[in-house]
Chains A and B, each alone.
Chain A
């Protein structure tokens, strides 16, 4: 189950390399002029240089090892077994993985997950961007509005999902339905309709995550040189062209970070879906994590569930790696 911790892996390793000895490292002071550096002591200095950072890192690394990497390794290990703790686990090789390909429900859940991740990521960034443009500035009132807009991010997901379940109540007296009835709309079935349910779940995801994206975009906006806007305006660029040729290019690094984070978040979505629909109706909102949960804890098939988690982990790893690689290449060029 713990295998799906994609982002932490990269975070952990990049932290390690980032703190490792580099050229800019001041290191120990250079030998005083006149003193003769013997060969063994130079080696010792080099050794110490190599070992010391790792020693300082060791507490964190050990914690990571114990709470992250070991459980992950255990999860990967389990994925090759039929897990039955009290009867002895049975080695099944790659059977669990071939089953993933065979299982239609898993393929369907994979499709839903991709749709969810793409739509939620795109929607949240778009809404977050618009919000950021609207709420950029230094005025005190804006600070207040920004904090208010940020609230969905800090609210507990489970609570948010329960509230949305109430809002989405598919009867005429449901809150959203009574709102819609003012505009003469018929009662919507919302989460009861297998063709719409995933869409409504995505709306909740966007509502919840857009303000987070807004904050990051705001930070990006703040770093844009005002003079660029002014000179663009002087050159006769309108609002749209200023957005397109000044704001967006300047935000590119921010957007790539957002994309990575949001896509990973989207792939691993669980709580919202589990509480809103439990994967239903007719399996129309079943995503990878709800499937894994069902397999692991309802069907007690922990080996198979672990295999699914490993696949999810690899997917997030590839996704993260891909975006990082793309970003590096962009930055270099």
Chain B
């Protein structure tokens, strides 16, 4: 009797386990929840997420389509990759335009018919470029664009009696003065010149260096016509630019300690806490530093290098993810996000970190929405005049990762020779171009 009871208990548990195993195997293979609401993820901090929620509330009111929204800041790409492996992607993902190539090559995103999208003609042509894949088709809808500028501790600069930097030499001299001349006047040697998020994680080192590489007249790749590319990262100008950046770390020693393993989200604090005085970053930081530093900082267009002025241009796209059953609703949300109304809420001037950095919609005046703030005008002007997107290869991510690793190595090992290292990198670029079938040599 005892045996048979034990037996049936064991069998019952076994049966249950098998049942659950089968049950979860037949789960939905598309995003969205059962009540037909759109599942939306964005790579945002909770502060930015709060503004997104306002946009989605407005959208729901206008269309009746519910949105289930999740802001994710850490390990965003990992979460998307996991969801993709489980074949259970959210319906909409709002993320960097730099992820376009990866998304397309993995088939994670749907093609967007630009002409059929309501209001698409109102968007900047240049913004559309960040959603255009190598095959000439669009796989996302541009949601915002941004350029980068140089943030400087104005109070420190004025205390030391220095002018706003106009050239690379000015910039180095300013950083050096911040580092050595005790700009905060506390009698301690505890300030640093330049804040650099030079970690290899997500290819940050390359992301930071891109603007300087172009200012130096260098480049990652050159288009050789016909949509093919050859490496340009070993050109004399590129090498000189890399050497200048290496010198910031090794010769001038004006970079904050720990920069080599620093990610952007951990970097921001160094500027607001009075550790570093020069920081090249995007418009999304203006609001936060307004709160933290008030009038103690200024934002200027990045000083010109030997090759002139340049800034990395990029943005975020609304990706309509694959496998969604809510095609119609996906499109409607994208249309709302790029509409003047959606963009204006996203630019919301009372919040420090707006989801819309610079508007993609020609009918929306970013500067006016930001209360006529001259710093935002500068970001807009920089984007228009000196903004440069990374090359439109099928997938930029491997290039960003490889160049990030090489540059991080150059900054870490002061005896490393930029020419030799960049020549090696050019070789890796060539291989990657061949892998992506766009080598034009």
The chain A residues found within 8 Å of chain B, CB to CB, are 52, 55-56, 58-59, 62-63, 66, 83-87, 165, 169-174, 189, 191-194, 276-284, 293-294, 296-300, 302
Contacts and interface: CB of A to CB of B under 8 A. Distances in A.
Given A86-B108, A169-B258, A299-B401, A280 B412 contact: yes
A172 B192 CA distance: 11
A85 B85 contact: yes
B200 A300 contact: no
B261 A192 contact: yes
Given A86-B87, A277-B261, A194 B77 contact: no
A165 B258 CA distance: 9
Contacts of B200: 278-280, 283
Contacts, number: 129
A283 B405 contact: yes
5 A-B pairs with the lowest CB-CB distances in the bound complex, closest first: A281-B260, A170-B257, A87-B107, A282-B409, A281-B412
Contacts of B18: 62
24 contacts: A52-B3, A55-B10, A56-B6, A58-B11, A59-B14, A84-B106, A86-B84, A86-B106, A86-B107, A86-B108, A169-B258, A170-B258, A171-B257, A172-B189, A173-B188, A191-B258, A278-B199, A280-B199, A280-B201, A281-B409, A283-B408, A297-B78, A300-B77, A300-B106
B102 interface: yes
B265 to A, nearest CB: 12
Given A58-B10, A278-B199, A299 B397 contact: yes
B17 A66 contact: yes
B75 interface: yes
Contact of B202 (A55, A84, A172, A298): A298
Contacts of A280: 199-201, 260-261, 408, 412
Q: Looking at A276, A278, A281, which has the most chain B CB atoms within 10 Å of its CB?
A: A281
Nearest to B256: A171
Contacts of B13: 58-59, 62
Nearest to A297: B78
A189 B106 contact: no
A279 B188 CA distance: 32
Q: Looking at A55, A294, A296, A298, which has the most chain B CB atoms within 10 Å of its CB?
A: A298
A278 B84 CA distance: 24
B7 interface: yes
A194 B249 CA distance: 14
A172 B191 CA distance: 10
Contacts of B20: 66
Given A84-B106, A86-B107, A280-B412, A56 B10 contact: yes
Interface of B: 3, 6-7, 10-11, 13-14, 17-18, 20-21, 75, 77-78, 81-82, 84-85, 87, 102, 105-108, 188-190, 192, 199-202, 256-261, 263, 322-323, 397-398, 401, 405, 408-409, 411-413
Given A59-B13, A192-B259, A284-B412, 10 more contacts: A58-B13, A85-B106, A86-B107, A165-B258, A171-B258, A191-B260, A281-B260, A281-B409, A282-B408, A300-B397
Contacts of B408: 280-283
Nearest to A187: B257
A contacts with B: majority SS: loop
A330 B342 CA distance: 73
Nearest to A60: B13
B14 A62 contact: yes
Nearest to B323: A86
Given A52-B3, A298-B202, A194 B413 contact: yes
Nearest to A194: B412
B190 A278 contact: no
A84 B108 CA distance: 9
Contacts of B188: 173
B87 A85 contact: yes
Given A280-B200, A281-B408, A282-B409, A59 B261 contact: no
B257 A189 contact: yes
A18 to B, nearest CB: 18
Contacts of A302: 81, 85
A87 B105 CA distance: 9
A279 B260 CA distance: 10
Given A86-B87, A86-B108, A297 B77 contact: yes
Q: Looking at A169, A282, A297, which has the most chain B CB atoms within 10 Å of its CB?
A: A282
Contacts of A66: 17, 20-21
Contacts of B108: 86
Nearest to B321: A86
Nearest to A276: B261
A93 to B, nearest CB: 18
A83 B199 contact: no
B192 A171 contact: yes
A192 B412 contact: yes
A59 B411 CA distance: 55
A189 B258 CA distance: 8
A86 B111 CA distance: 13
Q: Looking at B6, B107, B412, which has the most chain A CB atoms within 10 Å of its CB?
A: B412
B32 to A, nearest CB: 16
B346 to A, nearest CB: 28
Nearest to B88: A85
A173 B190 contact: yes
Contacts of B260: 191-192, 280-282
Contacts of A170: 257-258
Given A87-B107, A194-B413, A282-B413, A169 B398 contact: no
Nearest to A88: B107
Q: Looking at B85, B188, B261, which has the most chain A CB atoms within 10 Å of its CB?
A: B261
Contacts of B106: 84-87, 300
A300 B81 CA distance: 7
Q: Looking at B6, B13, B106, which has the most chain A CB atoms within 10 Å of its CB?
A: B106
A169 B192 CA distance: 13
A16 to B, nearest CB: 15
Given A58-B10, A83-B85, A172 B190 contact: yes
A45 B413 CA distance: 73
